[in-house]
Amino acid sequence: DIALSSYKAPLFKDERAIVERVEKFISEHYFLDCNLRGRLFGASIPVKLKHYDFGREMVSFKRAVEELSKRGMAVEVGFIFGPTWSTHWFQVDIEIPKGWDKKESVLRLDVGCEALIWGLDGRPIEGLSPDFGRTIINIPSVPSVQRIFVEASANNRNGDGDGDQIRPTKLDKQFRIHLAELREYNTLVNELLIDFELMLEISKFLPKDASRHYEALYIANDMINRLITSDFSFDSQNECHNRAMKFFRQPNAASQMTLYAIGNCHIDTAWLWRYEETKRKCARSWASALSLMENYATMTFAISQAQQLVWLREQYPTLYEDMQDRALDGKLVGVGGSWVEMDGNMPNGESMIRQMLYGQKEFKKMFGNYSNVFWLPDTFGYSAQLPQIMKHCGMCYFVTQKMSWSLINQFPHHSFRWMGIDGTRVLTHFPPHHYVSQITVKECLESVQKFTDRGRSNIAMMLYGHGDGGGGPDESMLKRAQRLMNCDGIPKILHATPDEFFAEVLEKNANNLCEWRGELYLELHNASYTTQSAIKKMNRLIEGLLRDHEFLQAMERIEVGGGRSLSDEWKMLLLNQFHDVLPGTSIKEVVEDAMDIYRRLVDILTVDNGNGLKMISSEKMEKETQSPNKWMVNSCGWSRTFFCNNRLLRLPAFSITPMNELKSLKIALGKQSIATEDDDGFILQNRYLIAKLNKHGQLTNVIVIGSEEDIDGDMKDTFVVISCGELANQFVIFDDVPLYWDAWDVMDYHLETRKPLTKACTSATLVENSVVYARIRFEVKISDDSTLVQFVSLRADLPYITFDTTVEWKESHKFLKVEFPVNINSAEASYDIQYGFVNRPTHRNTSWDAAKYEVCAHKWMALCEYNRGAALLNDCKYGHSCDGNVMRISLLRSSKSPDDTADMGQHKFAYAFYPFVGSMQRPANDTKMSVMRAAFEFNNTIRYVEGWRIERSIAETFTITGSEGVVIDTIKPSEDDVNALIVRLFECFGGGARIRLYLRHARIISVDLADGLERSVANIPIESMSSSDEGPTDSIVLDFRAFEVKTLLIRLFAM
């Protein structure tokens, strides 16, 4: 035992003094000449450095070594280099002095920025991150002369904002080498420092009525005395460390909560740095994690985001191979199963499935299995359709932590079952602390205190490790975990994988957990539905283009055996759906990179300014003759119409047809033109509605003309949509200054600053008018710097009014919206999401209701009463709201951080107002155009392809009877079978349905029910039916739940 002084510290009288004594004894700033910290390092000698500047170019190890050898210049501590994001390589030559061969020594290297250590063999060793003190590299004592290389990236780990991390990037930053030395190192002193830190934390954070609170201080105080009185002898150091370990090993009670420790290093694929820099962040962090796992056998480490694995394989192949080897023991695990950690609200349903399809394939390649855990810790809210989508793609567990950021309401659970809108449930866990924990006593205790499901469950995750390039776990975290794994008074710590955690929850708590139904709405970052509107517009456009292109490829495959996967094009889009790119919360340079990717995709996929689809050749077809004719493409499961030269043309369902073969439809046209003008404004009228607009472009009255008979069968129904005195299509501008997160947040108080642009119109002109179509042009002055031009139009054959809008936007911290007050009273509004819709409150009864003042929707929102309603359609917007009877679309913001040019310039977008009698699923007009179908057509213009290589029309290969609510969303070539197609369907009306799917092609031999990974689940019997007109027709019967998604694997005869 430690020899103790006869004097005992009176802690009950002066606890504060003893606490501060311990603090100063291990301080990095005070009394280093005589405290314990001052003995961590011994003698030092400088190392030799050579430097070469590669500018903005990322180079291979081989080239870097060659250039250093030929042109490297000697530098020393104090050397300054830059600018931001440039690449600098250093050669480090180490000579271990005589007499140091029996001493432990380390290389201390701080180049002032992120860096990666390379060995002589060209393999990455570990990363350096000075802001977390990761500047120490263990060096073997032999040989006496050693050489390593350092790849330095001239940037800070958490961005290079000018004065603040989320300010625009300072592109001319300079960096300095602060340390480059070989130094003696005392491992036992380091162990003691960790001992003291933990005992100090225990004394601070355990309650005063806990005996361990005082015991930790007594022991720490006695250890200081022992070390001082023995002049810090090795024996006394060893004795004190053993005494501390005895204290830590005093076991916990069986009832103590267990924290499942999972190492990770959450790395944003782009944010305050570009995609290119993320490639290096991954290498630095994962190399460090592998190095640590060599010495800590129980450590587990979770990796997400398949795109980052692909980058690693391409840029750092030896590190990728080392990680594959480490994955064999099950401690290095893949989680998430997605291409990137995408935004959880704005990607459409097919995009979300592709995130998981391509992500899971890459995880299988790397780890040998698919992930069971969907991992999305940092996304700004979670769609109510995610439970079904993740389960459809092989994942039955979900982990996130972001919900703890909500400003107003605390989410009531940490372990629970989450139910989506179709009824799918997934077991969900929110780690109660953070996803970058350090395994401190404070964090462990807070995990217990914050855990809201105590009594229902007694385990929680602790995700630890420095993120965003900080290297993930470090050795001090693992050493703390060793001491605290079963330490009385502290939650138990168990190294585990996410699968092991969920298996334990299922075994012990499966029937005891609560359930949450619907979306996980984050009460923060809700301005991200609107910021950087150009990115959002391109996302919506490319999603539609890929859908059309895959239909073309699928039809080519079924007709002639060609057709290829568009996986490469999809992966480009999926990358830009990362949760700081699509939301618009990245620096300007990331926005530029994202827009370059979109422009490349548009060039790959389209011709004629996007009006036509560029034929993408498959290997089998690229040499065949192509007809120069225009072939019109309809990738929808219903016929579509469009005007051409005043003829209304019909395009059959799922068809590719030459323009000159399309048949005209007869339409009852009025004798008068659609538009009339008087002193008060304009009137637009067709057989569906009458709309009055004033000279400022605002709707003053809209009357819907219903079907010939209402539900009672005795009179034509009408609906006055705009109440007297109200103005719809009213532009409003708000002051938009959040508390901190400029691009992310819009606070509720912005609604108090509403300023309507009531009489801002400077010009109103009827520019086109006929019995087929009318269009009115309005010019609006938003401010001295910003203007708006809008064309309000009505077609004879459509039941909605369209607003094509161009804005020149030059504002600062302003928010532009458009309002439609309607004559409808409903407690809920409906909003389009992936594969369905959700209802949200229009009132502010509770704090949960009031928090949803800005919400996400895709192509439409609607407000309905019995037998009537109104919908707003849009072609590229996501931010929406409904306050009482006032429906709003959020149009443009003007944030200044992290991109001070965000949204400045010209914007083009369109929205439409669709009032109706009947329901939004079945409006009472002769188009029978549901809001869902109208919104789809509004977003997906009819395009053509020049030179359809099959050179014959095709139509209605697949058709559905039984329910208009079940739609075929995707027809594509199979990823893995050249003789198979994938057909994806979903129910969009919100009610169960039985349908018959007709299969009109001789090559179809079987149909399997499949999952989102295109794996067969069960065979579906095919029923053969005779048809006098078309010969035999095959079909299958399918039953759908409300909002259910089904994937079919259709196998074809080989050609």
**19: confidence class by pLDDT, cuts 50, 70, 90:** very high
Which pLDDT value is given to residue 1007?
98
Averaged pLDDT score across all residues of the chain: 94
**Lookup result for tokens 């401010």:** 783
**946: confidence class by pLDDT, cuts 50, 70, 90:** confident
Distance from the first to the final alpha carbon of the chain:
84
User: Do 16 and 22 meet the contact criterion of CB atoms below 8 Å apart?
Assistant: no
* pLDDT reading at 603 higher than 60: yes
* pLDDT reading at 339 higher than 70: yes
By percentage, how much of the chain surpasses pLDDT 90? 85
Q: Identify the CA nearest to 584 among candidates 345, 860, 311.
A: 345
Q: Give the range among 419-433, 622-636, 909-923, 981-995 with minimum mean pLDDT.
A: 622-636
Q: Which pLDDT tens digit goes with each residue over 383-396? A: 999 999 999 999 99
Q: Which two tokens stand for residue 827?
A: 């407690």
The four Cα atoms 755, 756, 758, 761 give a dihedral, to 10 degrees, of: 90
* pLDDT reading at 951 higher than 80: no
Tell me the pTM: 0.96
* pLDDT reading at 863 higher than 80: yes
Domains for the chain: give ranges and CATH numbers: 11-33+188-250 (no CATH), 36-185 (2.60.120.260), 675-926 (2.70.98.30)
In terms of DSSP H, where are the helices of 451-566? 475-484, 498-509, 533-560
By percentage, how much of the chain surpasses pLDDT 70? 96
User: How would DSSP label each residue in 627-688?
Assistant: --SEEEEE-SSS-EEEEETTEEEEE-TTEEEEGGGPEE------SS-SEEEETTEEEEE-SS
CA angle in degrees (0–180, nearest 5) for 449-450-451: 95
User: Do 938 and 515 meet the contact criterion of CB atoms below 8 Å apart?
Assistant: no
Q: Distance between CA atoms of 742 and 318, rounded to whole angstroms?
A: 41
Q: Which pLDDT tens digit goes with each residue over 424-444? A: 999 999 999 889 999 999 999
Which pLDDT value is given to residue 1029?
58
The values of phi and psi at residue 436, to 5°, are -130, 45
* pLDDT reading at 120 higher than 70: yes
Which pLDDT value is given to residue 710?
46
Residues 6+ apart with CB under 8 A from 570: 354, 358, 546
* pLDDT reading at 100 higher than 80: yes
Which pLDDT value is given to residue 1027?
58
Give me the mean pLDDT over the 69-96 stretch: 97
* pLDDT reading at 716 higher than 70: no
Q: Which two tokens stand for residue 918?
A: 């009947």
Q: Which pLDDT tens digit goes with each residue over 534-554? A: 999 999 999 999 999 999 999
Q: Which two tokens stand for residue 9?
A: 């510290």
Which pLDDT value is given to residue 60?
95
Q: Distance between CA atoms of 222 and 240, rounded to whole angstroms?
A: 9
Q: Distance between CA atoms of 1041 and 422, rounded to whole angstroms?
A: 7
Q: Distance between CA atoms of 247 and 254, rounded to whole angstroms?
A: 18
Name residue 142's amino acid. V
Catalytic residue among 322, 378, 736, 899: 378
The four Cα atoms 895, 899, 905, 908 give a dihedral, to 10 degrees, of: -80
* pLDDT reading at 147 higher than 50: yes
Q: Which pLDDT tens digit goes with each residue over 647-698? A: 889 999 999 999 888 888 887 777 789 999 999 999 999 999 999 999 999 9
* pLDDT reading at 999 higher than 90: yes
* pLDDT reading at 97 higher than 70: yes
CA angle in degrees (0–180, nearest 5) for 651-656-662: 40
* pLDDT reading at 1032 higher than 70: no
Q: Distance between CA atoms of 563 and 554, rounded to whole angstroms?
A: 6
User: Do 79 and 47 meet the contact criterion of CB atoms below 8 Å apart?
Assistant: no
Q: Distance between CA atoms of 746 and 527, rounded to whole angstroms?
A: 5
* pLDDT reading at 971 higher than 90: yes
Which pLDDT value is given to residue 10?
63
Q: Distance between CA atoms of 485 and 261, rounded to whole angstroms?
A: 10
Which pLDDT value is given to residue 365?
96
Q: Distance between CA atoms of 542 and 570, rounded to whole angstroms?
A: 9
Which pLDDT value is given to residue 947?
77
580 is catalytic: no
Give me the mean pLDDT over the 724-749 stretch: 97
Which residues is 416 bridged to in the sheet?
428, 514
Q: Which pLDDT tens digit goes with each residue over 756-790? A: 998 888 999 999 999 999 999 999 999 999 999 99
Which pLDDT value is given to residue 102?
79
